[in-house]
Amino acid sequence: MIHVSNLTKEYAGRVAVDDISFDVQPGEVVGFLGPNGAGKSTTMRILSGYMPPTSGLAMVGGHNVFEDSLAVRRQVGYMPESAPLYLDMRVKEYLHFRGALKGLSGKDLRVRTGEVMEMCAITDVRRRMIANLSKGYRQRVALADALIHRPPLLILDEPTNGLDPTQIRHVRELVRGLRPHHTVLLSTHILHEVELTCDRVIMIHHGRIKACDTPRNLTRGLRAAGTVYVELQGGKDVAKHLDEIPGVRKVVAEKADGPWQAFSLRIESNTDVREAIQELAMKEQWRIRELHRKLPTLEDVFIELAAGDAPARVV
């Protein structure tokens, strides 16, 4: 659905997108992540036909973004971070207007307007002026606008910006329900939502792609140290014994629960000391109530890549 090759965008005095290449397959939900100023919004604007690149190739649905811009726009539903809405129009009136601009008419326009209002949970405000809506409702009107012409590709720039937790969950479920009939490329700073929603993640930093993989593979490949938590009953030298296990970098005592002692063990990367803890407990006759490894999250990956000390990981 999307093919990007050696795409570059230069502004006066700086490079916003630096020779990036990636593909998005039909039916995929792909998260586009990176710190502020990394080049996410610029890339999305290029793919939606909003602005031209300096060099490189961008294809959407087999159409060149530069040479066949109108065909690309027919296939794309684009929701920018700050969606420009007509504040002096009512919600239903606005969606009718936008649907007509995108080629809908008659009964199809009326039915589709009702469908997207229900999908985006804005039916209850359909007769209200957009100027009187909260930021969260305006975001949902913009999302309905992006969906109204049934585009095969949705490009969503911070679609949950300004939404409360309940609304964020609704958007997450909506995006999940769009596959496999729609391809979705979305950017967001809510990394937990990306882990729950996206099939694949593209991380960009300083205009260059630093990682492209599934959320699970990215967290598995993280170089940072992990953590093992253990809760047990033992003697006074428990911390000392735990610290002597190969691969343990630091032992931190947690809040005790009566006779039970709790410890967090900071361990070396690509190391698992749980079996060694179990063997030590059997030897020292400790009683273990809980033992688990805390897996790194997508947020850990994001922070490490943003720090600039992680190698690129592209699959």
Name all domains of the chain by residue range, CATH numbers in brackets.
Answer: 2-220 (3.40.50.300), 226-295 (3.30.70.3190)
**Residue ranges in the chain modelled with pLDDT below 70:** 220-225, 295-302, 304-315
Q: Are 175 and 277 in contact (CB under 8 A)?
A: no
Q: Are 154 and 120 in contact (CB under 8 A)?
A: no
Task: Round to whole Å and give the CA distance between 1 and 47.
Answer: 11
Look up residue 144 and give its two tokens.
Answer: 């309905």
Q: What pLDDT is recorded for position 307?
A: 63
State the Cα angle at 283 between 278 and 284, rounded to 5°.
95
Q: At what angle do helices 165-178 and 135-147 cross, to 10 degrees?
A: 10
Q: What pLDDT is recorded for position 224?
A: 53
Q: What pLDDT is recorded for position 315?
A: 46
Over the chain, what is the mean pLDDT?
86
